[in-house]
Chain A
Amino acid sequence: MYFKLADFDMELIYLYDYIKNLLEKYKTKKAKVDFSVKTSDNDIETEKKNYEGFFSLSYLESIATYRKIAEWLPLNDAFVLHSACFDVDGVGVAFAAHSGTGKTTHMNLWQKYLGEKMVVVNGDKPIVRFFEDEPEQPYAYGTPWNGKEHLGCNMRTPLKHICFIERSETNYVEKVQKQDIIDRIMNQVYMPKAPQAMMKTMTLIDRLLSCCDLWIIHCNMAPKAAEIAYNTIFKK
């Protein structure tokens, strides 16, 4: 099966149909392939150890597939960023935080506030990619690995703002420098095992922090939280 992910042409050799169905909207015709991915029973077994509870082998194959892709990406100027990412009038915004903090909830507040102006690109794990001809403009891509709510679509957005969500009683936004959020970002990027890929990932993280405006959004769950955050970040 051939598919396109983050503008990379890929080939998939799969064991179960779940992953084939997952990639349906990303399918392409046979083409020159940048990366061929095949998971083995051993890969699936390794994923089983990472997850508590029961998960089907087909689901674990999909996780193992994305892991292999994530390991390959850094040497091709891309990486997986754990974030909820969306596009507002052609501007990309990523909400990053530990699971359970409220990324999706806050993103949904923005959706209610902005309506059709906003399109969700990836609700959980977008791929961020740099191109040689645009060294200071990272792009965030939709992928089928977009969270349990399956929020997202097959598109890309030029990433301009990285926002870290923190729960707070009052709603306010602070602009920060890259030195202030290094701890936060390091925990939200997929870290590959191979030393060369890891070295490259750290370089790409540094580039991302230099190219985007960085914010900490202190927010509660009130609808007003979205209005305050949007107006501050987009200077309305």
Chain B
Amino acid sequence: MNLPERKANRQYIDNNPEKWNQNRFNIETKEKNAMKLKYQFIINEVADQMVAVAVGDDMEKFNGFVKMNDIGVQIFELLKNEITLDEIIAEMLKKHPESTEQEARETITEFTDKLKAEGVVE
């Protein structure tokens, strides 16, 4: 099959507004759900707990620290790049297959909601 030329391809999409609108809807939905850490953090163990602290110029913007357990650290690491809640759940279920999807969703949502409330995640 010969692939249509690029211009013709674009014309095809433009001429198919329903499909085009569908694509746009998906992109907007992904952008709405995606999360990411707002600042650069380092994580280290202090007094048997994992603690994340902002570094560099971000220290002035977030002058606090985040205490978390090992699960929290795994979620925190995933949030270094833009990621949706469903993607976090999928990744965490791979690491912890003993959990149910509902348990994972509740735990992760609770944690990410707290991070959002503190202004750590955008």
Contact = CB atoms under 8 A, between A and B. Distances in A.
B13 interface: no
A209 interface: yes
A199 B42 CA distance: 7
A179 B46 CA distance: 8
Nearest to B60: A193
Q: What band does the interface of chain B fall in when counting residues whose beta carbon is under 8 Å from A?
A: 10 to 19
A178 B48 CA distance: 8
B44 A186 contact: no
A193 B44 contact: no
**Chain A interface, >50% SS class:** helix
Contact of B49 (A182, A191, A194, A198): A182
A109 B53 CA distance: 36
Interface residues of A, number: 17
A193 B46 contact: no
Interface string A173-192: 00000110110011000010
B39 to A, nearest CB: 12
B51 A198 contact: no
A70 interface: no
B56 interface: yes
A206 B55 contact: no
Contacts of A179: 47-49
A210 to B, nearest CB: 8
B42 A198 contact: yes
B65 interface: yes
B67 interface: yes
B14 interface: no
19 contacts: A181-B47, A182-B67, A186-B46, A186-B51, A186-B65, A195-B42, A198-B42, A199-B44, A202-B42, A202-B46, A202-B51, A202-B53, A203-B44, A205-B46, A205-B47, A206-B44, A206-B45, A206-B47, A209-B47
Interface of B: 40, 42, 44-49, 51, 53, 55-57, 59, 65, 67
